[in-house]
Structure 1
Amino acid sequence: MEEPLSATAQGSSRLTDVSLLKNVLATSSNSPLEHLIKPSSQVYLSKLTTLGLQELLAQPSALQTQSHHLTSSLTSLTHTSYPTFLSLHQTTNALTTSLTSLSSSLDSLLNSSLPALEACAGGWKDKTDSVLKDRSKARMVLEQHEKIRDLLDIPILIDTCVRNGYFAEALSLVSHAKSIAENASATNKPPPLLLSSVLAEIHYSIIQMLLSLLTTLYEPNRKLPALYKAVNFLRKMDVFGPGSPFASAQTTSLSVVDGERLGDATDGITSEEQIALAFLVGRETCLRSTLEPSGKDVLRMTNNPGLDEREKEDLARYLKKYIDLWREGVHDVITQFTTIFLEKTSPAAQALLAARKTANGHPKTPTSATISPPSYQEWARLRSLITTYASRALSAHLLPILTPSLPCLSLTFLPSLLTQLTYCSTAFARVGLDFRTILSTLFSSTVAEVVSNDMRSAREKFVARFQIPASALSSIRTMSRAPKWEQPSKWLLGSATPNMHAAPPVPVTPATPLSASPFLSQGPPHIPPQILASYPPIAVYTNALLSVLNGLRLLAPTSIVETLIKMLDDEILFKSGDIILSYIKAYCNEHQLQATVDGSSGDARNDEETEKEHQHRVLIAFGQVFFKVFVPFMRRALVEGVYSTKLDANFTSGGELLPGIVMDWEDFALENEGESSGSEDDSGTDEGS
């Protein structure tokens, strides 16, 4: 029982804190403090505190014995295991060297290699991002290969369809491409470069399609089906709509909300109106190209001032051809425009009919109260557009050709041309272009001009024989003998005239008006008096004027009767009579001058004087027939023979100069008649003596 108690006592006396003992031992021995603070030293010192005195005293010898024992054990171990120690030493040195190298390698790795690796890893990411993106795009391209190929084939297909005329298929492909673009733009992102390139190529193909359709409108031989098809495709393309790049600034100002167009139709030109304008411009170009060759032929003939009958016939043939081409061309344009833009199938007409159906009461005629302004105004403006074109086609193509060329024709060609133009106007009246009133004015002025020119030509040929010799005028001034005149009996009288003592009809006295002459009511107005045949110049002149009046009888506008009678009186009869009177006066004055010169010698009248008196009577008779037979007959031939108007005292129309020259002739004739009778009395007295 003592041992447990001593053990308990010993165990209870163990010190846990041996710091004081450690300090004591450190100060009293030469042992370094580092050996005393080791954990094993701490345990041993703590164990010493539990030992008794005897045990503490025995500890140095026990420790020494144990030290010798350990020394001998180590010695024997060294002798027996020295190879192991050598190997362990070498291994330890190698391990130390390896650990040192490993430490330096780790330091190099941590200080230089790892930062460089981290930097390279960061740069690698930046360098591989573009490659990864390209690979991603390439992978996406491979995944979407079929769709991309279809997308790339769209411009080629559209171009092929446009080149071969499959416009409907081309528009379907365009709609498909637009839907793809709209889906791509729904993400609020810019379209990919590929899609933009495809859309640009499609836009180019659409422009080519537009040019092809517009070219159709400019082709002369295109008929209504082809034109109708081209216009319908232009409508489907909506190339002139608000969203089109071809639209005008005014058109783009119009807005569309919920499929309905806002704003008044007068704010700008609608797409339908622009297509109609393009249609009219194209067909106008075709019409101009069709009319140009015939128009050049007509103008070439018109610019030639002197046309013979054959050339006038050629000109009439060119005019008929030009009129036929103009009629066919303009009629085709009007009917085509009406069919395409104004019939029930046109968009404007459909809008108009829809507005009529929705209006209360279903009115027959459109009004602003029953029809929506855009539809009705667009339809009305389309109608006014074709009306304007028809008027322009008349004033720009037909009238500029007819106005200068018709006066160059003979009267015989005018009735057929008027008939052709009248039928043409009647046909155009069905489409709202009746220009018969213009024809009336045009042909009236043309007939008046042609009749005037033909009569003037006949007058110039007639009066050309009555030119007074210049020597006759000088002889009158100097009282000298003039050369002989051409004897009037040789060229004024016909071979069938028996003698000159057959007096002409009763003269018109100055107190008797020209309209009251008895010759104005004797005989038919279309048959010339027989006495005119005795005087070839008058007969030829009469035939020339009657030929003009016969041509006038085929086409005699009543609106120009006063113009013609004034022209006949003042320009034809007056000027002819004035020249004849001047010629006769000059001849008579020359005769009197020669009689005065010859009578101063006191010789009797000889055969030469008798011949001169005979020539004098021929001239007086010629003048009497001209002024008292020819002049009244020609006036009756025009007024009564052509226009069936009674030429009597109540007829007030006529020239102002003709009565004056007739009265001058009457005075001259009476004066010469008195002188002639006096000379006859003198000759009778001489014979009696």
Structure 2
Amino acid sequence: MAAAGLEEASLLTWLFRGAPPTGGPELAGYLGALAGLGLEALGREPGRLSEERAQLGAQTRALAFAHYKAFIRSAECTSETGRGFGGIERGLARLLGRLPPFQETGRNFVRDAEEIALNRRMNSLTLNRHTEILEILEIPQLMDTCVRNGYYEEALELAAYVRRLERKHATIPVIQGIVDEVRHSTQLMLTQLIQQLRTNIQLPACLRVIGYLRRMDVFTEAELRITFLQARDAWLHSIQAAIPDDDPYFHITKMIETCRVHLFDVVTQYRAIFSDEEPLVPPPGEQNLNEGAIFHGWVLQKVSQFLQVLEHDLQCGVGGRLDSLLGQCMYFGLSFSRVGADFRGQLAPVFQRVALGTFQKAVQEAVAKFQDGMDSYTLISAPAALGSTIPVAVPTAQPGTLQPPMVLLDFPPLACFLNNILVAFNDLRLCCPIALAQDVTVALEDALGQVTMIILAFHRAEEAAFSCREQELFVQFCTAFLEDLLPYFNRCLQLLFPPGQIAQTLGIPPTQLHKYGNLGSVNVSRIQEPLTFILPKREAAFNLEKELSLENPAPGPELAELSTPTSPGDGGEGSMETKHAAQPDTLLATA
């Protein structure tokens, strides 16, 4: 059966030249009958089919001729039906074209109706909740009133309520507008609270303000500490800026008082508000920020600023009142030791620099005055009878004083130079750190070297015109300078800087002190060397022996006062005044 089917399919393909056969079951039946015919029958089949085709065509024409009216009516009906269907189709097209706008209009109507219904329901609900809605809408105004009147507790409660509303209804525009207005009022409250910290606020008010700031939750703990210190620092700076700076002494005394009182108050407030106890193990996910270092750094900054102001005012000059300022500064530093910020050790270098600078300036002024005196000095103007028995009016020295050499009264330039140096010594005694021993000695030795050069210049200028008497007077002038003035300066230095105290500070025996250079003793040989050719050999040898005896002097009385000779023009020629200097309670001794 399968083979017969394949043969029939191949036959159909050959007969129709590859085109697919049509005709349905009739064609299949005809092909089945055709397959059963013999060869002769197959030969007659085309003729039979042609005759059958001719008969069918004749019958069709006869049928059409006999019933032509039906065919005409059928054609007319078909035409009319086509035209009707065309009109229907055009009307249907117009209807379909109008349906979408109608549908959209219907949707808009439904939507508008739903919106109107929704608005009606919302209006009804709004009318029913009018009181509650009015309270919410009045929150910004109420918040602003509370902030401007200082009712911060109520303002914080309103801010917390608004934050809860924002979390629940963040998408509602009205709520968002209320949140923005309340946030603006909160910023105003923050500004007012910080501004209160910039005033003379007391500790209870500080505690309240910091409590409000913590509840606002706008700063971390470190930021809150920094904000507090910045605000208090601004207030402290405003007080300090109001101090007049015309008089350096008045300015620095007021600055010391202001810093001691108000800065201590700020420190007390900070320690009462903030705790500097740091956790040994930081919380998970947080860095261990040493918040105590913030306060430590601020205190160091304030101390550094005070020291800068102190040094600036001291450099401007305080009229020889260093001892008073030193006492006030030491009391200031001692008061800060109660809060762990004792800075007295940093005061010593400041006062040392100022004391040394003042002394060096005074010494240079003394040298300049000596130069002026030598320019107008003539040996003729010296007393005619040096060493005469005419008594000189000399005041009785008080016990414990160091009496200046009387012979210097015969030489006004040396007397004036000694007077100026002793004034510098008296000023130095007010604040005389033991650490300045070498610097003071070097400054005095340099000044004496300059004086030596001035004397040599005077000798070179006047040597050719010297008479025998003038040469003798000039030798006595140099002898008084080397044998009386220089040893007297060394005794003054030893009273200002006792060798025993220097040796104790250095931790060495007093006999080894000379190995450490110029510490409270002027190098006489260095100053004497340029004038050696002027002095007689006997006197030069005597001076050298005297210098060697001064290297280890015997302990002298404590320095209670320094007597200063005056120039002949001040109190009359040959007169001498005694200047008393108050003995300070303690001398600032630093290594």
Q: TM-score, normalised by structure 2?
A: 0.65
1:543-577 deviation digits (Å, cap 9, x = unpaired): 221122122223210111111112111x2211112
2: distance between equivalents of 1:535 and 1:122?
A: 126
**1:499 equivalent in alignment to 2:354:** no
1: distance between equivalents of 2:329 and 2:422?
A: 27
**1:276 equivalent in alignment to 2:225:** yes
Map of 2:310 onto structure 1: 402
Aligned-partner SS, 1:617: helix
- Structure 2 CA distance for partners of 1:379 and 1:461, relative to 1, 3 Å: farther
Q: 1:447, CA displacement in angstroms?
A: 1.2
Q: 1:525, CA displacement in angstroms?
A: 7.5
Map of 1:384 onto structure 2: 293
2: distance between equivalents of 1:284 and 1:120?
A: 72
Map of 1:527 onto structure 2: 403
Aligned-partner SS, 2:533: helix
2: distance between equivalents of 1:542 and 1:662?
A: 17
- Structure 2 CA distance for partners of 1:531 and 1:559, relative to 1, 3 Å: same
1:287 is matched with which residue: 220, 236, 241? 236
Aligned-partner SS, 2:158: helix
Report 1:42-57 matches (<5 A): none
User: 1:574, 1:657 within 8 Å by CA — same for their partners in 2?
Assistant: no
- Structure 2 CA distance for partners of 1:401 and 1:341, relative to 1, 3 Å: same
Structure with max Cα Rg: 1
Report 1:507-518 matches (<5 A): none
Map of 1:226 onto structure 2: 205
Q: Structure 2, unaligned stretches of length 5 or more? A: 1-94, 390-398, 501-509, 541-591
2: distance between equivalents of 1:131 and 1:391?
A: 71
Map of 1:556 onto structure 2: 432
2: distance between equivalents of 1:118 and 1:626?
A: 128
2:259 is matched with which residue: 314, 326, 329? 326
1:643 is matched with which residue: 472, 492, 497? 497
1:588 is matched with which residue: 463, 488, 494? 463
User: 1:407, 1:447 within 8 Å by CA — same for their partners in 2?
Assistant: no
User: 2:449, 2:527 within 8 Å by CA — same for their partners in 1?
Assistant: yes
Look up the equivalent residue of 2:386 and give its one-letter code.
Answer: M
Q: 1:143, CA displacement in angstroms?
A: 1.5
User: 2:475, 2:534 within 8 Å by CA — same for their partners in 1?
Assistant: no
Map of 2:324 onto structure 1: 416
1: distance between equivalents of 2:331 and 2:431?
A: 16
Look up the equivalent residue of 2:486 and give its one-letter code.
Answer: V
Q: 1:579, CA displacement in angstroms?
A: 0.7
Map of 2:414 onto structure 1: 538
- Structure 2 CA distance for partners of 1:648 and 1:589, relative to 1, 3 Å: farther
2: distance between equivalents of 1:158 and 1:448?
A: 63
User: 2:203, 2:269 within 8 Å by CA — same for their partners in 1?
Assistant: yes
User: 2:409, 2:415 within 8 Å by CA — same for their partners in 1?
Assistant: yes
Look up the equivalent residue of 2:139 and give its one-letter code.
Answer: I
Look up the equivalent residue of 2:442 and give its one-letter code.
Answer: K
- Structure 2 CA distance for partners of 1:538 and 1:486, relative to 1, 3 Å: closer
Map of 1:152 onto structure 2: 137
Q: 1:650, CA displacement in angstroms?
A: 6.2
2:454 is matched with which residue: 551, 556, 579? 579
- Structure 2 CA distance for partners of 1:426 and 1:441, relative to 1, 3 Å: same
Count of aligned residue pairs for this structure pair: 420
Map of 1:567 onto structure 2: 443
Aligned-partner SS, 1:499: coil
Report 1:609-628 matches (<5 A): 612-628=467-483
Q: Structure 1, unaligned stretches of length 5 or more? A: 1-110, 241-270, 302-313, 343-347, 353-365, 468-484, 504-522, 592-611, 675-689
User: 2:499, 2:513 within 8 Å by CA — same for their partners in 1?
Assistant: no
- Structure 2 CA distance for partners of 1:635 and 1:524, relative to 1, 3 Å: farther
Look up the equivalent residue of 1:644 and give its one-letter code.
Answer: P
1: distance between equivalents of 2:377 and 2:358?
A: 34
User: 2:197, 2:232 within 8 Å by CA — same for their partners in 1?
Assistant: yes
Map of 2:273 onto structure 1: 340
2: distance between equivalents of 1:117 and 1:531?
A: 135
Look up the equivalent residue of 2:176 and give its one-letter code.
Answer: S
Aligned-partner SS, 2:373: coil
My pick for the range that moved more, 275-284 or 120-129, is 120-129
1: distance between equivalents of 2:522 and 2:314?
A: 29
2: distance between equivalents of 1:433 and 1:462?
A: 48
Q: 1:166, CA displacement in angstroms?
A: 0.9
User: 1:408, 1:450 within 8 Å by CA — same for their partners in 2?
Assistant: no
User: 2:314, 2:354 within 8 Å by CA — same for their partners in 1?
Assistant: yes
1:447 is matched with which residue: 355, 361, 372? 355
Q: 1:428, CA displacement in angstroms?
A: 0.5
Q: 1:129, CA displacement in angstroms?
A: 2.8
Aligned-partner SS, 1:381: coil
1:297-324 deviation digits (Å, cap 9, x = unpaired): 54xx6xxxxxxxxxxxx32122111221
Q: 1:527, CA displacement in angstroms?
A: 1.5
2:487 is matched with which residue: 622, 629, 632? 632
**1:666 equivalent in alignment to 2:574:** no
**1:167 equivalent in alignment to 2:116:** no
Bigger relative contact order, structure 1 or 2 (CA pairs below 8 A, ≥6 apart)? 2
**1:180 equivalent in alignment to 2:66:** no
Report 1:66-465 matches (<5 A): 124-182=109-167, 184-185=168-169, 191-219=171-199, 221-240=200-219, 271-294=220-243, 297-298=244-245, 314-342=247-275, 368=280, 372-374=281-283, 381-395=290-304, 397-409=305-317, 412-465=320-373
